[in-house]
């Protein structure tokens, strides 16, 4: 890192693969812009080596291109750092509950990001939680952060069951499945939405058994008819689902609308196959007041075909060009048109650098 370009203020946090620092950008217009830098713990001898991260660190990037600067990657002979603009935690210094329109806007952006991430050749995040969702100062733009546990969807190797912070962990992962899918991210989105309404985790378990009990106490226990694979997973790890009378989501998040409850209920389905995809979730009536229905001729398959025409499959970082990034931006713009998303406020809040849409560190 060029220590003359930045003045470190303090350490924001630290994870398995890196640390996040708050710093002053000495090269900004007024020399006082606050940024956050991510420092990778592993040492790299060159920038190219740093970009060729193994699957555990994700070797793909998806950017939203803005103006002339794509994303500044800084390098010295010791560490690889990345620097988005200033980010704020969703719950930081918040006193009153979020409005439903705020929650809808953030949920929609998260789902749009997952629509791109979950394409064939893409990635499942596997650690979605409020502390990994950051918003800009104005509160309009949300960003997915920390891809340290991300995994390529098409990977054939067994999945790890030690992923995702426990309170946002899908039941199949809690039951030690090694063949789960990107639907684990959809479960996490459901729990995050619920927490945005109440400021309390929906399923606050202190260990695996308590976590599963908390889930059962809210949505009820699964049966062989509703989730046969889950019952088999439970049997294989010697776990028996409790027979409890569920509180119900409406009791847990009374401020949520009927449409919100319905969407969260579908996202938090026991059976992963019954959870909607990100694209399907975006078409839920919950979002109807803020966007028109998709044109009759528009389907997820057509969007997939259009995205393939624009920029094909996800490209390795080392092969990404400015043209690739522009095409990715065009695809997001096309999604916005299809969903009638008003981006005027978002445009006003963009910095002169680049806003990060999805960045896999």
Q: Residue 260 half-sphere exposure, CB side, CA atoms within 13 Å? A: 25
- Residue pLDDT, tens place only, 110-132: 998 899 889 888 889 998 988 78
The answer as to whether 358 is a domain residue is no
The answer as to whether 74 is a domain residue is yes
Helix (H) or strand (E) holding 197: helix 183-198
Q: 268, 290, 312 — which closes off a domain? A: 290
**Confidence at residue 232, expressed as pLDDT on a 0 to 100 scale:** 96
**Confidence at residue 276, expressed as pLDDT on a 0 to 100 scale:** 98
Q: How far apart are alpha carbons 232 and 223 in whole angstroms?
A: 11
Sign of CA dihedral 60, 65, 68, 73: negative
Helix, strand or coil, per DSSP, at residue 54: coil
Look up the pTM and report it: 0.67
Q: 39, 54, 82 — which closes off a domain? A: 82
Q: Which of 64, 127, 146, 324 is catalytic?
A: 127
Query: 192 with 110, same domain?
Result: yes
Output the domain CATH number for residue 237. 1.10.510.10
Query: 114 with 55, same domain?
Result: no
The answer as to whether 305 is a domain residue is yes
C-alpha dihedral over 111, 89, 327, 74, to 10 degrees?
Answer: -150
For 91, 102, 106, 346, the CA distances from 135, given in Å and listed in that order, are 10, 11, 9, 11
**Confidence at residue 145, expressed as pLDDT on a 0 to 100 scale:** 78
Query: 337 with 221, same domain?
Result: no
Q: DSSP states of 308-346 as a string? A: HHHH-SPPPGGG--HHHHHHHHHHHHHHHHHTT---HHH
Tell me how many domains the chain contains. 3
**Confidence at residue 66, expressed as pLDDT on a 0 to 100 scale:** 27
The answer as to whether 295 is a domain residue is no
Query: 313 with 268, same domain?
Result: no
**Confidence at residue 355, expressed as pLDDT on a 0 to 100 scale:** 29
Query: 116 with 56, same domain?
Result: no
Query: 224 with 281, same domain?
Result: yes
Query: 254 with 155, same domain?
Result: yes
The answer as to whether 139 is a domain residue is no
**Confidence at residue 268, expressed as pLDDT on a 0 to 100 scale:** 98
**Confidence at residue 31, expressed as pLDDT on a 0 to 100 scale:** 75
Spatial neighbors of 359 by CB under 8 A, at least 6 apart, are 61, 62, 63, 71, 82, 84, 143, 144, 145, 147
Spatial neighbors of 299 by CB under 8 A, at least 6 apart, are none
- Token couple for 343: 């981006």
Query: 308 with 343, same domain?
Result: yes
Output the domain CATH number for residue 41. 3.30.200
Query: 128 with 67, same domain?
Result: no
Q: Among 278, 250, 325, which residue's Cα sits nearest to residue 181?
A: 278
Is 76 in the active site? no
Query: 189 with 251, same domain?
Result: yes
Q: How far apart are alpha carbons 226 and 335 in whole angstroms?
A: 34
The answer as to whether 238 is a domain residue is yes
**Confidence at residue 65, expressed as pLDDT on a 0 to 100 scale:** 26
**Confidence at residue 154, expressed as pLDDT on a 0 to 100 scale:** 81
Of how many residues is the chain composed?
361
For 124, 132, 179, the CA distances from 105, given in Å and listed in that order, are 21, 17, 32
**Per-residue pLDDT for the chain (361 aa), expressed as one digit of tens each?**
445 678 888 887 776 667 778 888 887 777 777 777 767 666 655 545 554 444 333 333 333 322 222 223 222 222 333 344 333 455 656 677 888 998 998 899 899 889 988 988 888 999 898 878 877 666 667 778 777 788 888 887 777 666 668 899 999 999 999 888 999 999 999 999 999 998 889 999 999 999 999 999 999 999 999 999 999 999 999 999 999 999 999 999 999 999 999 999 999 999 999 999 999 999 999 998 654 444 444 445 555 555 555 444 444 334 444 455 455 556 555 555 554 444 444 333 333 222 233 333 2
Check: CB of residue 342 under 8 Å from CB of residue 49. no
**Confidence at residue 123, expressed as pLDDT on a 0 to 100 scale:** 87
Q: 56, 82, 108 — which closes off a domain? A: 82
Check: CB of residue 349 under 8 Å from CB of residue 141. yes
Query: 62 with 129, same domain?
Result: no
The answer as to whether 356 is a domain residue is no
**Confidence at residue 139, expressed as pLDDT on a 0 to 100 scale:** 65
Q: How far apart are alpha carbons 295 and 169 in whole angstroms?
A: 35
Q: Which domain holds residue 62?
A: 6-82
For 240, 241, 250, the CA distances from 244, given in Å and listed in that order, are 12, 9, 17
**Confidence at residue 111, expressed as pLDDT on a 0 to 100 scale:** 92
Query: 17 with 161, same domain?
Result: no
The answer as to whether 355 is a domain residue is no
């Amino acid at each position: 890192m060029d220590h003359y370009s930045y003045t470190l203020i303090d350490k924001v946090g630290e994870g398995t693969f890196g640390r996040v620092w708050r710093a002053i950008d000495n090269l900004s217009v007024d020399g006082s812009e606050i940024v956050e830098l991510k420092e990778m713990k592993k040492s790299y001898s060159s920038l190219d080596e740093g970009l060729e991260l193994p699957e555990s660190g994700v070797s793909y990037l998806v950017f939203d291109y803005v103006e002339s600067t794509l994303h500044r990657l800084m390098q010295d002979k010791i560490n690889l750092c990345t620097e988005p603009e200033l980010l704020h935690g969703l719950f930081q210094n918040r006193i009153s509950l979020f409005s439903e329109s705020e929650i809808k806007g953030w949920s929609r952006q998260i789902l749009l990001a997952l629509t791109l991430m979950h394409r064939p050749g893409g990635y499942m995040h596997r650690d979605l939680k409020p502390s990994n969702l950051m918003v800009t100062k104005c509160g309009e733009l949300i960003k997915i952060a920390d891809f340290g546990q991300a995994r390529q969807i098409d990977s054939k190797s067994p999945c790890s069951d030690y992923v995702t912070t426990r309170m946002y962990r899908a039941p199949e992962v809690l039951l030690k499945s090694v063949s789960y899918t990107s639907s684990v991210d959809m479960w996490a989105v459901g729990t995050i939405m619920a927490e945005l309404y109440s400021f309390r985790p929906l399923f606050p378990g202190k260990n695996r058994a308590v976590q599963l009990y908390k889930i059962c106490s809210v949505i009820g226990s699964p049966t062989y008819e509703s989730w046969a694979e889950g019952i088999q997973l439970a049997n294989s790890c010697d776990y028996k689902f409790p027979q409890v009378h569920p509180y119900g989501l409406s009791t847990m998040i009374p401020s949520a609308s009927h449409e919100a409850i319905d969407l969260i209920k579908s996202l938090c389905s026991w059976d992963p196959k019954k959870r909607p995809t990100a694209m399907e979730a975006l078409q839920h009536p919950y979002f109807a007041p803020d966007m028109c229905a998709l044109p009759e001729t528009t389907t997820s398959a057509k969007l997939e075909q259009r995205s393939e025409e624009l920029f094909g499959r996800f490209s390795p970082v080392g092969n990404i060009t400015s043209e690739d990034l522009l095409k990715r931006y065009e695809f997001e713009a096309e999604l916005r048109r299809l969903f009638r998303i008003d981006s005027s406020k978002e445009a006003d809040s963009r910095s002169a650098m680049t806003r990060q849409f999805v960045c896999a560190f």
